[in-house]
Amino acid sequence: MSIIADHLTYTYNRGTAYEKKAVNDVSFSIKDGEYVALIGHTGSGKSTLIQLLNGLLRPLSGTVYVNGEDIFEKDYDLHALRGKVGIVFQYPEYQLFEEDVFTDVCFGPKNLGLDRQETELRAYEALKMVELPDEAFFQSPFDLSGGEKRRAAIAGVLAMKPEVLILDEPVAGLDPAGREWIFRLLSKLRKERSTTVILVSHSMDDIAEHAERILVVNDGSIVMDGAPAEVFSYNKELMEMGLDIPQVSKVLYMLKENGINVNTDIVTFKQAIAEVAGLFEKARY
Amino acid sequence: MSLINAENVTFEYIRRDKDGAVEGINRAVDEVSITLEKGDFIAILGHNGSGKSTLAKHFNALLHPLEGTVYVNGYDTRDEGHLWDIRQTVGMVFQNPDNQIIGTVVEEDVAFGPENMGIKSREIWERVVRSLKSVDMYEFRKDSPQRLSGGQKQRVAIAGVLAMQPQCIVLDEPTAMLDPQGRREIIDAVTELNRKEGITVILITHYMEEVLNANKVFVMDKGRIVMQGTPRQIFKHADELKEIGLTVPSAALFAGELRKRGIEIPDGILTTEELVKEICRSLRII
């Protein structure tokens, strides 16, 4: 499923003293199956932007095309769109509300108007996908551990079988194993369902490892758009925007500053290890 | 006298069904003993649900131990008569700055704590100025907190705690919601408070890089303390940490991988600077 943002602009509290332009003339397109990361400092407009992408917010000007259709046209079925473009919000576990986990996960597909059998089948599949143990299905969501609650909440979105999955800081507050688990889930979704993934994250390391493309948002505008290696080569600019570069890039840049000839375009851990190990190979011969 | 002394602390969460009958018991903290001295900078690591936050809430009497005792400045936290002394000694900062800020102007928000303590107005303002200066937020004192970045809001939250002049601050994942710049600001501010003002710091985090300034790290698993030591001692145990859902700082991981490939890099590397230095040194001796 392709998404095109066409000159999107959004302003909060328009016409008041608190007026704030959150998204300012933003255009980009995301291809079917892409894995895109959205980065930017807090308040840069990322969260507003993703809410525009599935029609939760209506832009002041500009529009969004999903599969070539203008989602803000009068007759467009926004309700159905929200099943196709799913958003996992920050701390999604705060939105769990049903008496048991299974009913909670059924909420999304049920609202899409699916019959009971299909709803329950999807809920079951989604819960299996997030690897919640069967005995948790009929527990109160509030009795789950923090990590399990997050999984249950993500299952609630997956049960709608979104073709595009947008995640806003999905690993915030998770321990290292939990963070790794989320990224494994995203890989699985891409492989098994060809899901397009749009990831909002503050972790440059995670993005470098997983995303194919990075959009950098600053003060409501897209200021960079490219592959991780390209975007992370703008070390100084990213730091000035309150962002950072991956740890492995820092290692490579510092080696270069020490007069060692390394490829600083590398952003993933594995490649960086291979690059440094290669230096030793060369030095030995 | 130690600032905080926890002796064999056990705490259980009790799950009840709709009728109030006990459904299950979850032992969140299991016979933990821990002693903190004035001026310590300690960090607590552990996976989600390992008991870190539950333990930390015992340090300012938000929770009372089921078994065992917690002493803060010698007061038993169960002693209601000293509740305010305890809360004033140990302040807490949580994950989400938006949930901790109530004022509409930065300086008013910071004044809220001392105002509630019944402190005279002139002294309140002296404290507000001092607290905001120590987290480098003085120039924003007349601003609305809504207009600040995440890191700035969290620093205001810290100033709000500082204005109560605590001897110790507990920070429970203070950077979880922040961007890279915000995270740097908080870790720098906390380190500075500890080093310059001697404030005892207890930092709970899931980011291994953030504990490097601590003089002691405690690792929790299933409600127990399973490791303690300096960051350098703790992060030598990469495999054990991985088993309990944790990891080591990226530079240590990098060094370990190089060692596996037969490259001579010493044990105990924690920072990117150390790693680069050792790679350069090792390259030169070939």
Q: What is the pLDDT of residues A130-151, one digit of tens each?
A: 999 999 999 999 888 888 999 9
Question: CA-to-CA distance for B207 and B32, rounded, in angstroms?
Answer: 23
Confidence bin at A18 (pLDDT 50/70/90) = confident
**Among A125, A132, A158, A6, which Cα is nearest to A68's?**
A6
Provide, as residue numbers in chain B, all residues whose Cβ is less than 8 Å from the Cβ of A43.
Answer: 149-150
Q: Which residues pair with A8 in a beta bridge?
A: A26
Q: Quote the minimal CA–CA distance from A204 to chain B in Å.
A: 8
Is there a contact between A254 and B245 if contact means CB atoms under 8 Å apart?
no
Q: Are B211 and B231 contacting, i.e. CB atoms less than 8 angstroms apart?
A: yes
Residues B52-68 pLDDT 10s: 999 999 999 999 999 99
Short-list A218, A161, A160, CA closest to A38: A218
CA distance A199 to chain B (A): 14
B271 is a domain residue: no
**Disruptive mutation site among B279, B280, B282 for chain A (greatest number of A CBs within 10 Å):** B279
Per-residue confidence at A284, pLDDT binned at 50, 70, 90?
confident
Residues of A with CB below 8 A from B279's CB?
251, 255, 260, 276, 279
- Residue B281 within any structural domain of the chain: no
A231-251 CB burial, b ≥16 within 10 A, e <16:
bbbbeeebeebbbbbbbbbbb
C-alpha dihedral, A181 to A182 to A184 to A189, nearest 10°: 140
Stated length of chain A: 285
Instruction: For residues B274 and B277, give the distance between their C-alpha atoms in angstroms, rounded to a whole number.
Output: 5
Does residue B66 belong to any structural domain of this protein? yes
Cross-strand bridge partners of residue A61: A9
pLDDT-above-70 percentage for chain B: 100
Contact at CB, A279 and B283, closer than 8 angstroms: yes
Question: How would you classify the pairing of strands A3-12 and A20-30?
Answer: antiparallel
Residues A250, B272 contacting (CB under 8 angstroms): yes
Structure-block tokens of residue A46: 């990322």
pLDDT tier for residue A191 given thresholds of 50, 70 and 90 = very high
Is the pLDDT at B17 greater than 80? The verdict is: no
pLDDT at residue number B1 = 85
pLDDT given at position B68: 97
| B264 within domain boundaries | no
- Which tens digits make up the pLDDT trace of A2-13? 999 999 999 998
> What was the pLDDT predicted at B18?
76
Angle ∠(A177,A178,A180) on CA atoms, nearest 5: 65
Does B155 fall in a domain? yes
Q: What is the pLDDT of residue A19?
A: 85
Residue B286 contacts A where some CB pair is shorter than 8 Å: yes
Cβ-nearest to B247 among A176, A272, A279: A176
pLDDT recorded at residue A170: 96
pLDDT tens-digit readout, A240-281: 999 999 999 999 999 999 999 999 999 999 999 999 999 999
Number of domains in chain B: 1
User: Sorting pLDDT into bands at 50, 70 and 90, what band is A285?
Assistant: confident
Q: Is B278 part of any domain?
A: no
Residue A30 has pLDDT above 90, yes or no: yes
Nearest to A284 among B181, B206, B286 (CB): B286
Q: Look at B180 and A243 and tell me if their CB atoms are within 8 Å.
A: yes
Rounded alpha-carbon distances, angstroms, from residue B106 to A10, B88, B172, B254: 27, 21, 22, 42
For residue A244, the distance in angstroms to the closest alpha carbon of chain B comes to: 6
Q: Which residue has the tokens 């005279």?
A: B120
> Most A CBs within 10 Å: which of B17, B265, B276, as the mutation test of the A interface?
B276
- Does position B51 have pLDDT exceeding 80, yes or no? yes
Strand stretches in chain B, DSSP E? 4-16, 22-36, 41-46, 67-72, 75-76, 90-93, 168-172, 200-204, 216-221, 224-229
Minimum-distance CB partner of A42 among B178, B282, B286: B178
Q: A-chain residues within 8 Å CB-CB of B258?
A: 273, 276-277
Tens-digit pLDDT profile for residues B134-191? 999 999 999 999 888 888 999 999 999 999 999 999 999 999 988 999 899 999 999 9
Beta strands A61-66; A69-70: pairing state: antiparallel
CATH number of the domain encompassing residue B231: 3.40.50.300
Longest C-alpha distance within chain B, in Å? Answer: 73
- Cα dihedral B96→B97→B102→B107 (10° resolution): 170
User: Which residues on chain B are in Cβ contact (under 8 Å) with A266?
Assistant: none
- CB spacing of B254 vs A248 below 8 angstroms: yes
Q: Over 80: is that where the pLDDT of A129 sits?
A: yes
Tell me which residue has tokens 């909060």: A12
State yes or no: pLDDT of B38 exceeds 90: yes
Within 8 A of A40 by CB-CB distance, chain B residues are 179
A-B interface: how many C-beta pairs under 8 angstroms? 124
Supply the DSSP string of A19-76, one letter for each residue.
Answer: -EEEEEEEEEEE-TT-EEEEE--TTSSHHHHHHHHTTSS--SEEEEEETTEETTSTT-
Q: Which of A42, A147, A205 sits opposite B48 (nearest CB)?
A: A147
B41-46 sheet: strands from edge to edge: B90-93, B168-172, B200-204, B41-46, B216-221, B224-229
Average pLDDT, chain A: 94
User: What does the pLDDT read at residue B166?
Assistant: 95
The range of the structural domain enclosing residue B95 comes to 4-248
Q: 3-class SS at B33?
A: strand
pTM: 0.90
- Per residue in B54-113, pLDDT (tens digit) is 999 999 999 999 999 999 999 999 999 999 999 999 999 998 888 888 889 999 999 999
Which of B211, B245, B217, B247 lies closest to B233 in space, CA to CA? B217
Residues of chain A neighbouring B263 (CB-CB closer than 8 A): 276-277, 280
Q: CA–CA separation, A96 vs A144, rounded Å?
A: 11
What is the tens place of the pLDDT at every residue in B239-282? 999 999 999 999 999 999 999 999 999 989 999 999 999 999 99
CB atoms B46 and A175 under 8 Å: yes
Among B residues 4-43, those touching chain A with beta carbons less than 8 Å apart: 15, 23-24
**Candidate from A169, A248, A280 with C-beta closest to B263:** A280
Decide if B254 and A204 are in contact by the 8 Å CB cutoff. no
Given its phi and psi angles, is residue A120 left (phi above 0), alpha (psi -120 to 50 degrees) or beta?
A: alpha
Q: Rounded CA gap, A217 and A150, in Å? A: 26
- Residue B229 pLDDT exceeds 80: yes
B286: in domain: no
| Nearest CB to A172 within list B151, B177, B273 | B177
Mean pLDDT in residue range A204-211: 96
Q: Note whether residue B174 is domain-resident.
A: yes
Tell me the pLDDT tens digit for each residue of A58-86: 999 999 999 999 999 999 999 999 999 99
